Amino acid sequence: MEKTLAIIKPDAVKKGLIGKIIQRIEEEGFKISGLKMLHLTKEDAKAFYIVHKDKSFYDSLTDFMSSGEIVVMILERENAISHWRKVMGATDPALAEPGTIRHEFGSSVERNAVHGSDSPSTAEWEISFFYKDMQLEKIK
């Protein structure tokens, strides 16, 4: 069983899409082993997206991610990382395949409804960022 981190971003939370996205996650065979809603501070958003600190979109992204509530989840299933990325769709909703979450609910590269880890090492780091208080199995 592989684990990945998923985030329902502020745009999707504000649009009332939490239930639809969670339903899709469950329909795709994921087990949700962690779930919480929170509001990131700008400092927390900067820390979470530190990998992008030298990119032109860093400030805008961290402003957006700290602009409202998010839902953070740990998802589990076989090939969780690659399967979640397939379900999410391309970062740009205009390029995402029909039927993907970003195609259905995203409006721009930044406001694209959801986030997902891109590798096992990233998933491990991202999960520990939000779930410091939990005892978590090592991601393999």
pLDDT digits (tens, 9 = 90+) for 112-139: 999 999 999 999 999 999 998 655 554 4
CA distance 74 to 6: 6
Mean pLDDT of the chain: 94
Residue 79 counted as domain residue:
yes
The CA dihedral of 100, 102, 104, 108, to the nearest 10 degrees, is -150
Residue 136 counted as domain residue:
no
Residue 37 counted as domain residue:
yes
Domain range for 92 is: 2-130
Residue 121 counted as domain residue:
yes
Mode of pairing for the β-strands spanning 114-116 and 31-39: unpaired
Predicted structure pTM score: 0.92
CATH number reported for the structural domain that contains residue 59 in this entry: 3.30.70.141
pLDDT, position 132: 83
Q: Catalytic one among 39, 83, 103, 115?
A: 115
How many structural domains compose the chain?
A: 1
Q: Work out the average pLDDT over 62-81.
A: 98
Q: Is there a catalytic annotation at residue 39?
A: no
Q: What are the helix and strand counts (H, E) for the chain?
A: 7, 4
CA distance 13 to 2: 26
pLDDT, position 139: 46
Residue 25 counted as domain residue:
yes
Quote the Cα angle for 119-104-78, to 5°. 35
Answer whether 73's CB lies under 8 Å from 34's CB.
yes
